[in-house]
Amino acid sequence: MRLAHLELTDHRNLAHAVLDPDPHLTVLCGPNGQGKTNLLEAVWLLTGGKSFRGSRDAELIRRGCAFSVVEGVFESGGSEKTIRLTVGSKGSQRPGRTAKLNGADQGRAAALAGNFQAVVFEPDLLALVKGGPEGRRRFLDAALCQIYRPYLVALRRYMRLVAQKNALLKSYDITPNAGLLLDAYNEQLAGYGGQIMAHRQRFTDALAPAAAANYGEISHGAEAFTLRYLCCAEAPTGQALAEKLAAVRGSELRAGFCLAGPHREDLDLQLDGQPARVYGSQGQQRSCVLAMKLAEATVAGELFGEHPVLLLDDVLSELDDDRQTYLLTRMGEHQTIVTTCDTAAFARTNGKIVYVKGGQASETPFA
Ligand SMILES: Nc1ncnc2c1ncn2[C@@H]1O[C@H](COP(=O)(O)OP(=O)(O)O)[C@@H](O)[C@H]1O
Ligand SMILES: [Mg+2]
């Protein structure tokens, strides 16, 4: 997977910008608040995923404009492909994110999943180890949505059913035929939930050994990192989830909301048999994140057949020398785009430098 060309119109603070990334390393540099992360975000949007900044679609459009356009040309499977992503503001003719692939309409941007693949590292990722389960589920879901379109479909339907079932559980006593309705929801939840669980299991089975190996390399074997999928049922199947839902039925009626299912699952992260969240030092936790994200890229590459583009937002400055060197070495193997305020860290590499200032990008320094 290689991004060859990117052109932006009215994306965030970038009125018009062109980027021709290096096949290996591109360094977006400039002071704070100039548009480096915005440029990286635009590359990410080509995956069809929502912004890694967690912002709403409308925020992607440059203030005062009706549309933003991100167009990327990339090489995949030996051929060149073009993605054109348009974000329309609320009152515009075509609100939301819509996409074209090689000129053909794809409808919603999410339909792009499985074409352009990227993995993002950003400073907030420490939450993957330190934070609650929802961050780890988001990690799994973001990776799987990119690899399998059907996963995204199953996840959306599942989450909608959870909301509907929660509403039912809240007004159970005053809803006619509530019991039958609950049976119907549970049956559908088991179907979509089972698909989600099977994919999560398969993905983490591949991820765990890769993450453990990466951690070993980063820490020179100082301690062992293990990653395990904590499935909500006896097995990652629709049948097992159906049994689980039947078992918690009474408790759910008392609680008034859904108590079991993939929307409450987690990953168990351990260092030498202790929870990494509690026992890991800040440095060890950073190593866990680095090991997991690089493993994600490797596994996505194996499942998809091509290694994703690595997008690194301001992460290098947070790592110590050893970890920086490790990351820089691993980066060398695949196309990588990084942002930094401090070009010194990249003096050791021969990456292409792109200067970003006031919403403009240039291969020559600004005066
Ligand atoms: N929709 C938007 N329209 C115009 N400017 C925006 C929009 N969204 C964000 N910005 C601006 O982009 C700038 C931040 O850019 P960013 O890429 O995060 O900077 P950095 O170079 O530090 O990574 C801020 O000045 C912010 O006000
Ligand atoms: Mg930034």
Mean pLDDT of the 117-140 span = 91
- pLDDT interval class at 110 (50, 70, 90): confident
For the chain, the average pLDDT equals: 93
> Where on the phi/psi map is residue 30: left (φ > 0), alpha (ψ -120 to 50), or beta?
left
Q: For residue 100, what are the β-bridge partners? A: 84, 105
Domains of the chain: 1-117+310-367 (3.40.50.300), 123-305 (1.20.1050.90)
Residue 35 among known ligand-binding residues: yes
The atom number, within ligand 1, closest to the CA of 41 reads 17
Question: What's the pLDDT at 50?
Answer: 86
- pLDDT interval class at 367 (50, 70, 90): confident
Strand, helix or coil for residue 286: helix
Whether pLDDT at 33 is above 90? yes
Question: What is the tens place of the pLDDT at every residue in 277-326?
Answer: 999 998 899 899 989 999 999 999 998 889 999 999 988 777 778 888 88
Ligand 1 atom 20: the closest Cα is on which residue?
33
Cα(121)–Cα(80) distance, integer angstroms? 26
- What percent of the chain is modeled with pLDDT above 70? 99
Residue 31 among known ligand-binding residues: yes
Length of the chain: 367
**Residues in contact with 280: Cβ distance below 8 Å, sequence separation at least 6, in sequence order:** 129, 271, 288
Question: What is the tens place of the pLDDT at every residue in 157-215?
Answer: 999 999 999 999 999 999 999 999 999 999 999 999 999 999 999 999 999 999 999 99
Per residue, the 3-state secondary structure of 7-69, as one string, reads EEEEECCEEEEEECCCCCEEEEECCCCCCHHHHHHHHHHCCCCCCCCCCCHHHHECCCCCEEE
> Where on the phi/psi map is residue 256: left (φ > 0), alpha (ψ -120 to 50), or beta?
left
Whether pLDDT at 241 is above 80? yes
Distance (angstroms) between ligand 2 centre and the Cα of 269 equals: 28
How would you class 273 by CB atoms within 10 Å of its CB: exposed for 0-12, middle for 13-18, buried for 19 or more? Answer: exposed
How far from the centroid of its chain's Cα atoms is residue 160's Cα? 20
Question: What is the tens place of the pLDDT at every residue in 36-85?
Answer: 999 999 999 999 988 888 888 899 999 999 999 999 999 998 999 999 99
- pLDDT interval class at 346 (50, 70, 90): confident
Of the CA atoms within 13 Å of residue 299, those in its CB half-sphere come to 27
Cα(8)–Cα(28) distance, integer angstroms? 15
The atom number, within ligand 1, closest to the CA of 30 reads 21
Helices then strands (H, E): number in the chain?
A: 10, 15
Q: Which residue among 9, 37, 38, 56 has the greatest number of ligand 1 atoms within 8 angstroms of its CB, and so is best to mutate?
A: 38
